[in-house]
Structure 1
Amino acid sequence: MRTPLVSNGLGVDTASSVASESRMMRRVVIASSLGNALEIYDFTVYSFFAVIIGKLFFPGESAIASLLMSLATFAVGFLMRPLGAVLIGRVADRRGRKTALSLTIGLMTVGTGIIAFTPTYPSIGIAATFLLVFGRLLQGISAGGEVGTASAFLMESGRTDTRCFMVSWQGASQGAAALVGALTGLVLTSTLSDEALHSWGWRVPFIIGLLIGPVGWYIRQHLDETHTDSHNPTPLSEVLRTQGRTLLLGIALMASSTVSMYMVVFYMPTYLVQTLHYPSTFAFALVGLASALLAVVPPLSARYADRFARRKPLLYWTVGLPLVMVYPSFLLLGGESTGLCMLAITLLIMPLAVGIGPSLALMMEAFPRAQRVTGLSIIYSFGVTLFGGFSPLLVTWLIGVTGNPLTPAFYLIAAVALSLFALRLYPEHPGRA
């Protein structure tokens, strides 16, 4: 029997409208997530193979010196994020979200290609080092504008009562990309010899990442623009003048989530192998667990967060709990027990996974639409640069100086305390258009 049509009073079939809206939302989520996933995937596999890349592109007097140079190159890409945030954020607020989204994925693809195919130091000398750094700089510019643009596009494409759910896909795509990167690393380190990994195996993840770029660019070209009122954009100087306090608080608010992400997902394989002396396959498996939780939990918890108009009550829990869970979790990591290590990783990543949706919604609602991408891009890029990008380098150096394997725990606790203070003062404008 044919299902009766339901009219909405305007001659439009409600069932058809709902189906059309659902298809549009899926397209928006996929288009926004692919570019973000490419960014995180490339950053993930670089950090996973940092030891090998250090030996091939930064020959030094010792293994730790090569690793530090490799991690410094990982960090230098973050120095370009603020520049990308300002440039691409202004493009998004002046010319629309679609133009900016196409630009970010194009730059990220070019940077990935350079890293994937650049000959090593023994082949072309110092030119190899310069090319690798240049590829990382392009990725940094792209990443600086990607998250702000894609997050605003996701939020503006949905209803007010689904904002946390829509923007949570930013975190879910990061988790999924990190999971794919971890699984790729696990497969390669399990099946290839050390000689093969150093010869060509480390390039495979970056070549895989190149496949995402053209697909994401094509899909983004066929999206509907969400910001059409761009004929009179707000000057950057006015954004900085009127929103300076919000920007500073937002950067501080990013400390906890950024350090958690870059310590638990990106730096963890190096920490587990170099400091705690676990096998690399076990390290990749633990990061795979963290990435899987980050891929699955944000949309589910965001559905719950959307039931409430305000964002802060839930965020006080997700930001505050790590204060008491971080140190015991790092103690569990040193317990040489598979079950305890899995529990530790779960305790470290769950607050971040649950809080992604409401946190992004809170930060974006603080800005009017015409300033939204620029504002969030500045917050995200400076926050990630200050607290995330240099975390692996800083913690590796601190562990070497102090000899204390629990140094990462103290660093993360300090970041959590700063974010909790910023959350208390950050402005809240629930439902702002």
Structure 2
Amino acid sequence: MDSMLSAAASSAHPVPVPAASQVRRAVIASVIGNGLEWFDFLIYGYFAKTISHVFFPVGNAFLSTVLTLATFAIGFIVRPVGGIVLGAYADRVGRRRTLSLLILLMAASTLLMGLTPGYGSIGIAAPLLVLLSRVLQGLSVGGEFATAAAMLSEYAPRGKKMFYGSFQMTSQAFALLLSSACGYLLTTHLDRASLEAWGWRVPFLLGALIGPIGFYIRHKVAESPEFVEMRERLGHAPQQSMRQFLRERSDACLCAMGVIIVGAATNYLWHSFLPLYVERQLHLPLKNALFGTAVSGLISIVAYPLAGKLADRVGAWRVFFPVVVIWAVIAYPLFAWVVAQPTAERLFTAQMIATLVLSIMSGPHPGMLTQLFPTATRSTGVALSYNVAVTLFGGLAPLTVTTLISFTGSNLVPAYYLIFAAIVSLLLVGLSRSGRRLLRDPDAVPHD
């Protein structure tokens, strides 16, 4: 009965079909902030060792690194808070206004990171300012992925939701390529003293320049047609308490977290944490990891949209399970092969295999998440689910894995971590009502 009423209401207020130029502008507006987010996070991970010397000179290399990674993790810890607040804001006032606000917050946090003097200049104020930068970024990023994914999905034609959503992942791949290439050039052309003195700051300052450009593009884009239709149909902004949302959408949230967990763990271990792992555990030059990461970014730019097309054709939920199972099976032998004889060639081969699996697995993720929630609570639902999953299994992964390696002495901890993440993902998606429903009917969507 509810679906019949919803269908009747939708026919009374049909979703307007946007012009091709509006769609292109919406895609660019949606992905540019996500690219800046990932550029900043990846650069921080690549230069974690250098940043630890600049801001956390405690006289103990391990403790200094842990403090740096803990600060990295704090940006993730506050993300669910930002996701709840800004996701609800996007569901009330619209995607366009929220995206414009988010790009300014991200640019400000990136600029603060690039301009903060070192510990030797201003003492304890230096790590505190870095902490502030990470908190501001975490809050803004909390709403970024969800709002941008909602915008892409709501602009996408029927039957192309996964393909359009995959551009969100493509922006991450472009940021991966750009950040790793930037890191590779700096580490190969600057000595250690220059890198610590000023070299590591260059990527952050360049990233901050994207802010004003992104704001201009986002400010000019039209509001999502599905959001406009929903507002006209309801006659007012959506009003739903968090208690009501959790009561009605908790199953969808658990399913969404299951979708993200394995991809987040893989992404952050193979891209953000890998350079530190390569230097400290494998004792290979940083440039080896950065070169492979740059190539991974280049491949992913093409692979993510192809994965989105595949998901639209055969059903994203039918692709999800076999790919995650395959990844759980090969994660250990892949790491063991590299650890047994750490060489640049083996590392590069493993990076390429991980990149292909991750692309197929994660390309459809934005479309899959937005499919779980109705328009009225889409940004809230995606933001809450995405940020909790990424915080626990992505942002905390470098700190968790580094600590476990220190306690166990095993360089294979990352493989065990990925297997655990894959099992949790399979259980959450497979046992949820939402996951089983979408496995049976890949086109099913909830109604407002």
Which bin holds the TM-score, normalised by the shorter protein?
over 0.9
User: What is the distance in 2 between the residues matched to 1:389 and 1:92?
Assistant: 24
User: What is the distance in 2 between the residues matched to 1:402 and 1:47?
Assistant: 23
Structure 2 residue corresponding to 1:329, chosen from 311, 334, 341:
334
**1:311 is aligned to 2:316:** yes
Structure 1 residue corresponding to 2:89, chosen from 88, 91, 99:
91
Structure 2 residue corresponding to 1:244, chosen from 250, 253, 266:
250
User: What is the distance in 1 between the residues matched to 2:95 and 2:85?
Assistant: 13
Identity %: 37
Tell me the residue number matched to 2:13: none
Structure 1 vs Structure 2 CA RMSD: 1.6
Structure 2 residue corresponding to 1:288, chosen from 289, 294, 301:
294
User: What is the distance in 1 between the residues matched to 2:444 and 2:295?
Assistant: 34
What are the superposed Cα offsets for residues 208-253 of structure 1, whole Å, 9 maximum, x if unpaired? 1011111111000011101123424131221111111221232233
Tell me the residue number matched to 2:38: 40
Instruction: State the SS of the aligned residue for 2:54.
Output: helix
Tell me the residue number matched to 1:187: 185
Q: CA deviation at 1:342?
A: 2.3
Letter in 2 for 1:253: V
Q: Which moved more, 1:239-248 or 1:179-188?
A: 239-248
1:263-282 aligned at under 5 Å gives the runs: 263-282=269-288
User: What is the distance in 1 between the residues matched to 2:291 and 2:167?
Assistant: 23
User: What is the distance in 2 between the residues matched to 1:425 and 1:159?
Assistant: 30
| Cα separation, partners in 2 of 1:306 and 1:253, compared to 1, 3 Å | closer
User: What is the distance in 2 between the residues matched to 1:340 and 1:282?
Assistant: 11
Q: CA deviation at 1:170?
A: 0.9
Tell me the residue number matched to 2:443: 430
Structure 2 residue corresponding to 1:372, chosen from 364, 378, 385:
378
Q: CA deviation at 1:311?
A: 2.3
Which runs of 5 or more structure 2 residues have no equivalent in the other structure?
A: 1-16
Q: Which moved more, 1:57-66 or 1:113-122?
A: 57-66
Does structure 2 conserve the Cα–Cα contact (< 8 Å) formed by 1:91 and 1:99? no
Q: CA deviation at 1:26?
A: 2.3
Letter in 2 for 1:188: L
User: What is the distance in 2 between the residues matched to 1:302 and 1:248?
Assistant: 22
User: What is the distance in 1 between the residues matched to 2:50 and 2:319?
Assistant: 41
1:28-427 aligned at under 5 Å gives the runs: 28-226=26-224, 227-228=227-228, 229-230=230-231, 231-235=236-240, 236-308=242-314, 310-334=315-339, 335-426=341-432, 427=434
User: What is the distance in 1 between the residues matched to 2:197 and 2:237?
Assistant: 53
User: What is the distance in 1 between the residues matched to 2:253 and 2:129?
Assistant: 33
Instruction: State the SS of the aligned residue for 2:364.
Output: helix
Letter in 2 for 1:327: Y
Letter in 1 for 2:414: P
Q: CA deviation at 1:386?
A: 0.8
What are the superposed Cα offsets for residues 359-379 of structure 1, whole Å, 9 maximum, x if unpaired? 332222121110111000001
User: What is the distance in 2 between the residues matched to 1:333 and 1:121?
Assistant: 37
Letter in 1 for 2:336: L
What are the superposed Cα offsets for residues 377-422 of structure 1, whole Å, 9 maximum, x if unpaired? 0011100111111110111111111111111100111001111112
User: What is the distance in 2 between the residues matched to 1:342 and 1:317?
Assistant: 25
Does structure 2 conserve the Cα–Cα contact (< 8 Å) formed by 1:333 and 1:341? yes
Q: CA deviation at 1:106?
A: 1.0
Which runs of 5 or more structure 1 residues have no equivalent in the other structure?
A: 1-17
1:21-32 aligned at under 5 Å gives the runs: 21-32=19-30
Does structure 2 conserve the Cα–Cα contact (< 8 Å) formed by 1:315 and 1:359? no
Does structure 1 conserve the Cα–Cα contact (< 8 Å) formed by 2:76 and 2:395? yes
* Count of residues in correspondence between the two structures: 414
TM-score between both structures, scaled by the size of structure 1:
0.92
User: What is the distance in 2 between the residues matched to 1:245 and 1:234?
Assistant: 20
User: What is the distance in 2 between the residues matched to 1:299 and 1:253?
Assistant: 18
Tell me the residue number matched to 1:11: none
User: What is the distance in 1 between the residues matched to 2:102 and 2:372?
Assistant: 24
Letter in 2 for 1:286: G
Q: CA deviation at 1:116?
A: 0.5
What are the superposed Cα offsets for residues 316-371 of structure 1, whole Å, 9 maximum, x if unpaired? 12222111110111123223344432221122222221132433322221211101
